[in-house]
Amino acid sequence: MEELKTKKELAEKEFQTKKELADKELEAKRKAAEEEFKTKKELLEGEAQLKIDLADKDIQGKKDLQAAEQQHNIQLQNMRDATQKELQ
């Protein structure tokens, strides 16, 4: 009878130990998954911000180029007009 009680206690302790280990392992996996998610999220947000910044710079560059072309065209037209006046 005493032997059965001891076996039962040992089995309960073994179960409790395994349960605690499984809980700790599960918690560690959960934390690792959260960190992985956080890291991936930060990387994606950073990548998205870089794409936005590049698009903004591209837009600004195109605006600057367009403004320079317009200024150049105005200067050319002024030179043509001046040449026309001199020829008249």
Q: Supply the DSSP string of 4-70, one letter for each residue.
A: HHHHHHHHHHHHHHHHHHHHHHHHHHHHHHHHHHHHHHHHHHHHHHHHHHHHHHHHHHHHHHHHHHH
Confidence tier at 3 by pLDDT (50, 70, 90): confident
Please tell me the predicted confidence (pLDDT) of residue 13: 95
Quick check: 88 pLDDT over 80?
Answer: no
Residue 23: predicted pLDDT: 98
pLDDT tens for 21-80 read: 999 999 999 999 999 999 999 999 999 999 999 999 999 999 999 999 999 999 999 999
User: pLDDT-based confidence at 19, cuts 50/70/90?
Assistant: very high
